[in-house]
Amino acid sequence: MSQRKGLENHTVGSGFILLGFSDDSSLQVLCFAVFLVIYLVVLTGNSLIALITVVDSSLHSPMYFFLRNLSFLEVCYTSVTLPKMLVGFLMEDGRISFLGCAAQLYFLVLGSIECLLLAAMAYDRYTAICHRLHYTLIMSRGLCIRLVVGSWIAVVPVQVGQTYQVFTLPFCASHDLHHFFCDVPPLLELACADTFWHQVMLYAIILVFAILPFSLIVISYIQIIRAILKIPSALGRHKTFSTCSSHLGVVTLFYGSATVTYLKRRSRDSVDADKYLALLYTVVTPTFNPVIYSLRNKEVRIALKRLLRTK
């Protein structure tokens, strides 16, 4: 608490203060230990998924190409927020520089790229189930690469513009961010200027890079469910649905928490709820992705056993 009072009147040049989850110093060590374990699980699990999809020739299909890129993205995404959070817990110091905050906000572009990547994975499952005979022709390696590269190219310039707009705003005397990382909504709350058009831009970005991909995912799964229901045997329906159940689980966890966080109205009473919801899509989802894909996917389990046996 004394740290917060001492830094309250600093200029923007000295940066911001990430308030995190608790002022109780006795909980800092416990939080550090918990989030350190989570970060190590994210790094190990996603790196292992990426490794086996590279070295095992049986996993060189479009679905696992997208999964490899998703795992790489999750490692990068959590590395934007968790290391700074761990330092804050260990040093009991939530300060982040102005440039550090801007960099953190910019690299959250990875969240928008993940939305597009999940949509590409849904299209892959739709093609595999609804156009099985033409699957290899449609989902060529060239198309897969273009979908991944296009996701990065489409999002990066927009994020550059948003980061520039936010950090050219004048900020008020208080630099306390009620969050554990630099995000647009809490930063706009500190601005001493009209942020209407910044809010409009934020919702436009959410519409294009979150809601639109989610709509495509929903449409894909409507077609997938229709195709599955036409399969005469229950065993056939179960086997077909199992090929996309892992992806569906990840989509539900990621989009459910992110949508509630960004689209619900913010208030002083909801800042703690916002932080815990943000934990779901920035920390919990990357942690459970490898678990979901390894437990729900027989091919991944076999490849993992083969890799461990070889080592």
Position 92, amino acid: E
Q: What is the pLDDT of residue 266?
A: 57
Say whether pLDDT at 25 is over 80. no
Strands 16-18 and 176-177: parallel
Say whether pLDDT at 210 is over 80. yes
Position 254, amino acid: F
* Cα radius of gyration rounded to whole Å, the chain: 21
Query: pTM for this structure?
Result: 0.87
Say whether pLDDT at 205 is over 50. yes
Say whether pLDDT at 251 is over 60. yes
Mean pLDDT of the 133-139 span: 93
Instruction: Name the one residue in this structure whose structure tokens are 């209407």.
Output: 196
Q: What is the pLDDT of residue 263?
A: 63
Taking Cα atoms as reference points, which of 136, 107, 105, 139 lies closest to residue 121?
139
pLDDT band at 10 (very low <50, low <70, confident <90, very high): very low
State which of 23-37, 54-68, 237-251 shows the largest mean pLDDT: 54-68
State which of 193-197, 237-241, 262-266, 290-294 shows the largest mean pLDDT: 193-197
The answer to whether 177 and 18 are in contact (CB under 8 A) is yes
pLDDT band at 70 (very low <50, low <70, confident <90, very high): very high
The Cα–Cα gap between 216 and 212 comes to: 6
State which of 123-127, 248-252, 269-273 shows the largest mean pLDDT: 123-127
pLDDT band at 7 (very low <50, low <70, confident <90, very high): very low
pLDDT band at 59 (very low <50, low <70, confident <90, very high): confident
Q: Which domains does the chain have, with CATH numbers?
A: 2-310 (1.20.1070.10)
Position 79, amino acid: S
Cβ contacts of residue 259 below 8 Å, gap of 6+?
A: 210, 214
